[in-house]
Amino acid sequence: MITLRPSQKRGHARIDWLDSYHTFSFASYYDPQHMGFGTLRVINEDRIAPSAGFAPHGHSDMEIITYVLDGALEHRDSLGNGSVIHPGDVQRMSAGTGIRHSEYNPSSSNWGHLLQIWILPAQQGTQPSYEQTHFPREQKYGQLCLVGSSDGRHGSVTIQQDVDLYCAIVPPGERLSHGTSLDRKLWLQVVRGGLSVCGQQVGTGDGVAIAETSHLEVIGGAAESEFLLFDMG
């Protein structure tokens, strides 16, 4: 079973320094039909103006993943972590019992572009933690690259939930496949370009919910494409 979440149907918020699209209900955008999918709760596509960003604010009991598409994002948190996230990096922050952090675009001239993803943790009240790993383009080109998992295997960041998160860059016309169990849920988020997903044509910003299938087939479009794939228990 495949359900398309079109890019143009997402929630949208715009202020002077932030242009944000919400795949699922978030902040002032509320749609009871789109509250998440499985343990996947938030996919926000954010564009942040130069030298602007989110002032220190708190989170708890959430797995937060940041995936930068263009530009950079500077992160600081109450655990003492400070880093700059670039394209190819995957940052995971487990909020647990509580964490405060800030996120700013360090560029004085270019907008930053990123995805921020929230996943419900398997257990509440855990110790907050932070992790950031770089995945080179060649690891993702023409293949699925595991970038997040519950056990941190193959160098992926560790997510405190039964989720395998993959990224792939698909050359034009190339075919990729992924096998899973019928009782698991898949969510595919198109980052750039166009794809055929089990025969369904999708484009930039589209999401695809997939259930009751053991085989996913993706075919690249006319230009190079990129997507994230969540395989969830």
Range of the structural domain that residue 26 is part of: 2-232
CB atoms within 10 A of CB 54: 17
38 token code pair: 């499985």
Of 68, 210, 212, 73, residue with least CA distance to 202: 210
Q: What is the DSSP string of 177-216?
A: EEE--TTSEEEEEEEES-EEETTEEE-TT-EEEEES-SEE
Which residues of the chain have a pLDDT value below 50? none
State residue 101's pLDDT score: 97
Of 226, 138, 233, residue with least CA distance to 189: 226
| Count of domains observed in the chain | 1
- pTM value? 0.97
List strands edge to edge, sheet with 175-179. 175-179, 215-220, 195-197, 200-202
| Long-range CB contacts (within 8 A, 24+) of 31-38 | 34/5, 36/120, 37/185, 37/187, 37/209, 38/185, 38/187, 38/230, 38/232
219 token code pair: 């075919």
State residue 95's pLDDT score: 98
State residue 25's pLDDT score: 98
We report the CATH number of the domain holding residue 48 as: 2.60.120.10
State residue 34's pLDDT score: 98
Note the pLDDT tens digit of each residue in 200-221: 999 999 999 999 999 999 999 9
Note the pLDDT tens digit of each residue in 62-107: 999 999 999 999 999 999 999 999 999 999 999 999 999 999 999 9
State residue 96's pLDDT score: 98
HSE-up (13 A, CA, CB side) for residue 155: 8
How far CA 132 is from CA of 9, 23, 61, 231, in Å, comes to 31, 24, 19, 20
